[in-house]
A and B are shown apart, each in its own frame.
Chain A
């Protein structure tokens, strides 16, 4: 893993990618910091980190960092060297992921200096500031994990970049799109029922070739799901109130960053939420790389 990590970090700094990323992110965060914290005299740095400019920068910079990671490796056939070497796929994926985070940490280190600068001029909520910076780091880490996964499913760098951009854009926009889902209990229950049926159908479509009894399992999934929804609705229909809105909000990573990391108290829910998203996408990346060998 160390070999791949070292090679990746080196490659970010022998090409322009690493420098462009660091410089551009530092420029934007620095500018927002200047406008909000310095000129408008907000003491808490989270105010600028949560500013929407910064999220938009991630849409452009994350694809720059992740688009070539697996796509290019497959395109130039160098993946043959990695996957025939005595290392596991997990080690390869983690090596590459940690290398990206290392480049990102340069920016985090720069941001960590900002509260110290401000501390010269007045009272600063130091703890809350660093919690916000931690959250900012985790938010970026989730975006990178998503980008890594998308890079692993395609052979084309451009597709990888565009899809990553679109996914992060969508995730950013979802926080303003809660109006598209119903919030009253009955429509919510119906929508969830439809989702369960779609899930069951999806299962059938995916496995019917290899598993003959797939339709039975599929029907069981749909039946159990719908039964559970009906029972919950009959027992306590208010549980569905705003349920879908919450789901949509939880898919918006930049919204969740603001939601979890804006107090002096470190919210463990937030840590768990971000770390599990990272774990999920790293897991998916490993699976998608493994799957390619079997197809």
Chain B
């Protein structure tokens, strides 16, 4: 359990994290989302005790990260954006060092190293120098270091960057497995990753929390989420007449379609109401056939762009 209260981080005059507060419940996978420079890595570095906050408080299982750093840090495994690897070591030496550093007891050391090696699939490179490994394997060795000893809270900063699609799927499986027994926070800007693995999403922008919900709910909560696109084989004045007669429609727009004699209508309704059947019967009674119809539910990308308020290619 992590409690973040009124967190502020200033770099000189630049405000990197602005009054951020949230609570991370145990046993869930959290996705930490935001455009570049939103303060994701800074926040993670503060939670793990690498950076000090300018103001605010961070409690890890009730331990303040600045007052009782050792107790708090024992609960956390951290994979930073750039895996902190010693290039002159082999994964074996590296993980042994990590185990010593985390204070894992001698009799448990071998078992816990074996467990993470199996989980991250690095046994075939176990005795090669880290500097000779591919990026994907380096990432995995870093991940193995983070989950070594299976701390309660595992924080991963962009764990799948630079991996090939197969490895991405594998790492996601590992994260899902971890999520069953641990609290996992992962930052990413890949949307599929969030929908694929996360139970909960925190979106931050310019150092502030702008949304916090499950991936499914997030789509619904944003205005304009329940929108239908219908292609009707009738001239636009007829379509307008039909739609005007229907209640429960918030607003609609009608366009001429390039397809001969068709009109495209974009219809927005209230939150939970499904207009499709009503529309079918209304058009049928007016003898205007519906050629195509689809619900254009808002994807996470759209939500993301909407709440972070930037239409540029920061994604």
Contacts and interface: CB of A to CB of B under 8 A. Distances in A.
A11 B51 CA distance: 27
B118 interface: no
Interface in A1-38: 2-4, 6-7, 10-11, 14-15
A83 B49 contact: yes
A88 B78 CA distance: 17
Interface in B52-98: 52, 69-71, 73-74, 76, 78, 80, 82, 84-88, 93, 97-98
A86 B86 contact: no
B59 to A, nearest CB: 16
A14 B100 contact: no
A293 B84 contact: no
B162 interface: no
Contacts of A79: 84
Contacts of A10: 93
A81 B98 contact: yes
A76 B131 CA distance: 12
B52 A85 contact: no
Contact of A84 (B49, B82, B100): B49
Contacts of A76: 84-87
Contact of B50 (A80, A87, A88): A80
A293 B98 CA distance: 22
- How big is chain A's contact interface, by range? 20 to 34
Nearest to B80: A80
A83 B45 CA distance: 10
Given A81-B145, A84-B49, A4 B101 contact: yes
B97 A80 contact: no
Nearest to B84: A81
Interface of B: 11, 45, 48-52, 69-71, 73-74, 76, 78, 80, 82, 84-88, 93, 97-98, 100-103, 145
Interface of A: 2-4, 6-7, 10-11, 14-15, 76-88, 293-295
22 contacts: A3-B100, A6-B100, A7-B100, A11-B86, A11-B88, A76-B85, A77-B80, A77-B82, A77-B84, A81-B84, A81-B98, A82-B101, A84-B50, A84-B73, A84-B76, A85-B101, A85-B102, A86-B70, A86-B74, A87-B70, A88-B70, A294-B52
